[in-house]
C-alpha cells in the first residue's frame, strides 16, 4: 500500500507567491491593506444596517449576513497568508489545516446560499412587488438565512468527514496558500473515492441548486425589466439588482475558473490568483459594490 512507504503527515507545507524579497514585502503590504479595508468595510456595513431604520428591510438583512460571512471568510484565510508572505511560515499543522478547510467550506457554501436568497429577494421585489411584504416577511427571511448557515455547516461537516479517512505523506506540499479540499484530495496517497463522492454530491446538492436559483431569478427579472415601457422605470428596476448581479458575477466566475474548468497540472498557474480573488478581494469589494450605487446606503 502507498501508506507503507511514508509516515502520516502531521504538517503540510503551503506554497508562497514568490521568493523575491522585494515582491514579498509588496505583497504583504498589499494584502494587509486589503484585509484592513475588508474588516472596516464589512464591520461598517453591519453597523450601518443595524443602526439605521432606513435599512431595516429584507434586502439589507441579507446584506448584513453576507458582510458577516465575508468577514469570516477573509479572517480564516488572510492572516495565515500574511504570516506566510512576511515570515516565511509555510507550514500548517494537520489539525490546523482540517480546521481551516472546515470553516472555509462552511462559509463558502453559506455565501452561495445567501447570494441565491438575495437573488430570490430581488425576483420577488421586481416581478411580484405587491406580494413582496407577504412573501419576504421577517419570519421567512430569518428562516432563509438560518437555512443558509445550516446548509453551510452540513457542507463543512461532510467535507471534513470525507477527508478524515485520507492518508498523507509527511512531505505533502499544497500548491496554494490555504488548505483547499481539491488540492488535499489530489495529494492523498490512499483511496479518495469516498472524499470525491462527498465532494461531488455536495457540489450537486448544494452548489448547483443555488446557482440555478440565481440563474432562474435573473432570467425572470430581466424579462420583467424588458417588458417595462418607460426608460426611467427600466433604469430604476435594474438599479435595484445591479449591485447584486456584479457581486455574483465575480464570485461565481472565480469559483468556476478554479474548480470547473478542466486543465492539466502544468497549466494551473492562475489558480492562486483566482483563489486570491474569491478569498481576499471579493470580501473587500462587496461592501463597496453594495454601497457606491445604492442611494439608501448613502443616505443612511
For the chain of 300 residues, list the mean pLDDT of each consecutive stretch of 10.
63 77 86 94 92 87 94 92 77 88 92 93 91 93 95 90 80 80 82 78 80 90 85 76 81 75 54 81 87 70
Q: What is the pLDDT of residue 89?
A: 65
Determine which helix (DSSP H) or strand (DSSP E) holds 56, and give its type and residue range.
none
Q: What is the pLDDT of residue 266?
A: 46
116 vs 123, 154, 206, 254, 266, CA distance in Å? 10, 17, 11, 16, 34
Q: What is the pLDDT of residue 269?
A: 53
Interatomic CA distance for residues 93 and 112, integer angstroms: 28
- CA angle 188–189–195, rounded 5-degree value: 45
Closest CA to 286 of 27, 69, 121, 122: 69
> How many H helices and E strands in the chain?
12, 3
Interatomic CA distance for residues 268 and 290, integer angstroms: 32
Interatomic CA distance for residues 98 and 196, integer angstroms: 16
Q: How many CB atoms lie within 10 A of CB 99?
A: 15
Instruction: Report the top-level CATH class of 11-299.
Output: mainly alpha
The domain spans of the chain are 11-299
Amino acid at each position: 500500500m502507498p501508506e507503507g512507504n511514508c509516515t502520516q503527515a502531521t504538517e503540510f507545507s503551503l506554497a508562497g507567491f514568490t521568493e523575491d524579497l522585494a515582491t514579498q514585502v509588496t505583497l504583504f503590504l498589499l494584502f494587509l491593506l486589503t484585509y484592513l479595508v475588508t474588516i472596516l468595510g464589512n464591520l461598517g456595513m453591519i453597523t450601518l444596517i443595524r443602526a439605521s431604520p432606513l435599512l431595516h428591510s429584507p434586502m439589507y438583512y441579507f446584506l448584513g449576513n453576507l458582510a458577516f460571512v465575508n468577514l469570516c471568510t477573509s479572517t480564516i484565510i488572510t492572516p495565515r497568508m500574511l504570516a506566510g508572505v512576511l515570515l516565511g511560515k509555510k507550514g500548517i499543522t494537520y489539525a490546523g489545516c482540517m480546521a481551516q478547510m472546515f470553516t472555509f467550506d462552511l462559509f463558502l457554501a453559506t455565501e452561495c446560499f445567501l447570494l441565491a436568497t438575495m437573488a430570490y429577494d430581488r425576483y420577488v421585489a421586481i416581478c411580484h412587488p405587491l406580494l413582496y411584504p407577504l412573501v419576504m416577511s421577517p419570519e421567512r427571511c430569518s428562516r432563509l438565512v438560518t437555512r443558509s448557515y445550516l446548509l453551510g455547516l452540513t457542507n463543512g461537516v461532510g467535507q471534513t468527514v470525507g477527508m478524515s479517512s485520507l492518508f498523507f505523506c509527511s512531505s505533502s506540499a499544497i500548491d496554494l496558500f490555504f488548505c483547499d479540499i481539491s488540492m488535499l484530495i489530489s495529494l492523498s496517497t490512499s483511496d479518495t473515492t469516498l472524499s470525491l463522492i462527498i465532494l461531488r454530491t455536495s457540489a450537486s446538492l448544494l452548489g448547483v441548486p443555488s446557482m440555478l436559483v440565481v440563474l432562474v431569478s435573473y432570467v425572470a427579472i430581466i424579462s420583467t425589466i424588458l417588458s417595462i415601457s418607460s426608460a426611467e422605470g427600466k433604469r430604476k428596476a435594474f438599479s435595484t439588482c445591479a449591485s447584486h448581479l456584479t457581486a455574483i458575477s465575480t464570485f461565481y466566475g472565480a469559483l468556476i475558473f478554479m474548480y470547473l474548468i478542466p486543465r492539466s497540472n502544468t497549466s494551473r498557474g492562475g489558480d492562486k490568483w483566482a483563489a486570491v480573488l474569491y478569498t481576499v478581494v471579493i470580501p473587500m469589494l462587496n461592501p463597496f459594490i453594495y454601497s457606491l450605487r445604492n442611494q439608501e446606503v448613502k443616505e443612511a
